[in-house]
Structure 1
Amino acid sequence: MPVCAQGHDSADDEFCDVCGLAFDGPAAAEAVAAQPEPEPEPKPCPVCGATLEARFCENCGADSLAVQTTEAPAAAEPVRAVQSWSVVVSADRAYFEKVKAEGGPDAEPIEFPPFCPERHFPLSGGQVTIGRRSQSRGILPDIDLTGPPEDIGVSRLHALLVAGPAGWSVVDMGSANGTYLNRAHTPLPANVPHPLEADDEIHLGAWTTLTIHPDA
């Protein structure tokens, strides 16, 4: 079935049944020439997203052809979320008994506290100080073990937790009674970072234990 220049289906092959337009001749050519071309759909600027009226964006001045022919940069790798860690401070009866058994001139008068609720401290930033505050000396540790109850075996600035690419480390700050890890018999060397793993126990003073662990 023939189709006229206006797009109509016609049973007659000389004149259109719908509009009467001849299929051949100058009238048909004029009708075809008279049809307006469809308007091109507007395109957004590849840089700012504004509607392009020409090659150059009127909003940001970007050359749309240059931008489109430039190879797009590779997508950046997603940034991994840094896992958060916390410290739980508790009174450790087993560590206290170990301190008493190993003795020392100051061990005898120390008593284990009858009640000492656990305390939780989130770890954040690059450094976290541990000790007992002293307003007169301007010592305000992030993990303040002043109490009550107060473990007098903990120095004012006893230890430091340091964040690194591989996790957290503990540093003894030259404390009077030392810093012990996981019930070791010898204290950590002063001013030397020691890497920590999940559920490691840091022992301070006469009965204080800090357990470090990642948050769920």
Structure 2
Amino acid sequence: MATCPQGHTSSDEEFCDVCGREIGGAPVLVADAPPVAEPALPAAGETCQACGAALAGRFCEECGHDSLAAPPVVAQPAQPVVPDVPPVPADRLPEAATWTATVTADRAYFDSVMAVDGPDAAGINFPPYCPDRHFPLAGKEISIGRQSRSRGIHPDIDLIGPPEDPGVSHLHALLLAQEDGSWSIVDLDSANGTAVNEEPKPLRPNVPRALANGDRIYIGAWTRITLRRS
């Protein structure tokens, strides 16, 4: 029996029956495999990379993640797709509607009041000069009248003057804001009443009357209040 360089016994005198090496060849040296290092366990106070729980060993007791493995990949939520909408030009943006009450002296209305020849008509004269006054309307109620400090009356649209219309009651009428953005007028049982546009009869006291853009309110001896929307 022959012996190969690796020490195997072979019946074949040329090549080993076990490893196939040539019987008369040189022996092959095999290097020893390096020792396998033991994996390092997590240190005290270390937390799980998957759920953040405190680790007491290699595997997390909360989620079971292996602390020696790579941290799990967290999928990012998909970002919503925002359509590319061009901006609206500034000159096309809608503007908030605003209302203004313009107070002036109306000669035609004054003449119609004088024609009725009321008890105080003889002592009332049409003002030689009465500049327009503009009152922006804001809020739910706008009171109209003449200020009276002794009675504690301070209307929003104060017609105390000058010139002062003596036919206007201290608390004459009320403008009420409507849900659609418009206004209505209510006469507060004034001494000389309230009229709208050229309607022949004055308003019934304490009954709202809807107003539109451009409507005219007549009170006192010559006062006209025009509502305008812009």
TM-score by length of 1: 0.63
Aligned residue number for residue 98 of structure 1: 112
Aligned residue number for residue 23 of structure 1: none
Residues 107-122 of structure 1: pairs in structure 2 closer than 5 A: 107-122=121-136
Aligned residue number for residue 144 of structure 2: 130
Is 1:177–2:192 an aligned residue pair?
A: yes
Task: Spell out, residue by residue over 1:48-107, the C-alpha distance to the aligned partner (whole angstroms, 9 max, x if none).
Answer: xxxxx834xxxxxxxx65xx599xxxxxxxxx7541110110000000000001222122
Q: Which runs of 5+ in 1 are unaligned?
A: 1-52, 56-63, 71-79
Give me the CA root mean square deviation: 2.2
> Cα gap change, 1:69/1:157 in structure 2, threshold over 3 Å: closer, same or farther?
same
Task: Spell out, residue by residue over 1:18-45, the C-alpha distance to the aligned partner (whole angstroms, 9 max, x if none).
Answer: xxxxxxxxxxxxxxxxxxxxxxxxxxxx
Q: 2:178 aligns with which of 142, 159, 164?
A: 164
Greater gyration radius: 2
Query: Which of the two has greater helix per residue?
Result: 1
Aligned residue number for residue 11 of structure 1: none
Larger displacement relative to structure 2 (164-173 or 139-148): 164-173
Return the alpha-carbon distance in structure 1 between the equivalents of residues 74 and 185 of structure 2: 63
Is 1:54–2:68 an aligned residue pair?
A: no
Shift of 1:109: 1.5
Aligned residue number for residue 186 of structure 1: 201
Aligned residue number for residue 13 of structure 1: none
Return the alpha-carbon distance in structure 1 between the equivalents of residues 159 and 226 of structure 2: 14
TM-score by length of 2: 0.59
Task: Spell out, residue by residue over 1:101-120, the C-alpha distance to the aligned partner (whole angstroms, 9 max, x if none).
Answer: 12221222211001111100
Q: Which runs of 5+ in 2 are unaligned?
A: 1-72, 81-93
Return the alpha-carbon distance in structure 1 between the equivalents of residues 120 and 228 of structure 2: 32
Return the alpha-carbon distance in structure 1 between the equivalents of residues 110 and 172 of structure 2: 18
How many equivalent pairs are there? 146
